Amino acid sequence: MTGVPVSAYLALALILFCIGLYGALTKRNTIIVLISIELMLNAVNINLVTFSKFGMNPSITGQVFAVFVIAVAAAEVAVGIAILLSLYRNRKTVNIDEMDQLKH
């Protein structure tokens, strides 16, 4: 067996996911919320790659899945930034608690 156990990688991914979750829930700035979501997706990718090496059936499939997750994350960031720019043009704000048009 190798030097680093599986649970160490999973624990690192868990810590990064918790940091991303806390940032996404507490920050007011929309860009920081978006990038916190990216951090959570990265933590999930670490889990996928870890299981593709150490899991029940070690194979390359986990890495293929991680590639797909990265592509979806890139598309999500592009659309998110576009929505942010168009909202900023209309409302002149980037704070997430002032984007409440659907409430009124």
Partner 1 sequence: MTISGEFLAFISLALVAVIGGVLLLNLTKVVHMVVGLVFTFIAIAGIYILLSAEFLAVVQILIYSGAITIIMLFGIMLTRHNDEESDSKGGGWKKVLLFLGVLAFGAAFYIGIYNLDFGTEPAALHEKNTEQLGVALYSDFVIPFELMSVLLLVALVGAIVLSRNDGEKEGDKE
| 99 forms part of the interface with partner 1 (CB under 8 A) | no
In the window 54-83, what residues touch partner 1 (CB under 8 A)?
A: 54-61, 63-64, 66-68, 70-79, 81-83
Structure-block tokens of residue 50? 């870890």
C-alpha to C-alpha distances, 85 to 26, 43, 50, 98, nearest whole angstrom: 21, 27, 36, 15
Distance in angstroms (rounded) separating the CA atoms of residues 27 and 95: 9
Residues 6+ apart with CB under 8 A from 88: 94
Site for partner 1 in 2-31 (CB under 8 A): 2-12, 14-16, 18-23, 25-29, 31
Q: Does 45 bind partner 1 (CB under 8 A)?
A: yes
To partner 1, the closest distance from the beta carbon of 2 in angstroms equals: 6
Neighbouring-strand partners of residue 29: 95
Per rule CB under 8 A, count of chain residues that contact partner 1: 76
* Residue 102 binds partner 1 (CB under 8 A): no
From candidates 33, 44, 89, 102, binder to partner 1 by CB under 8 A: 89
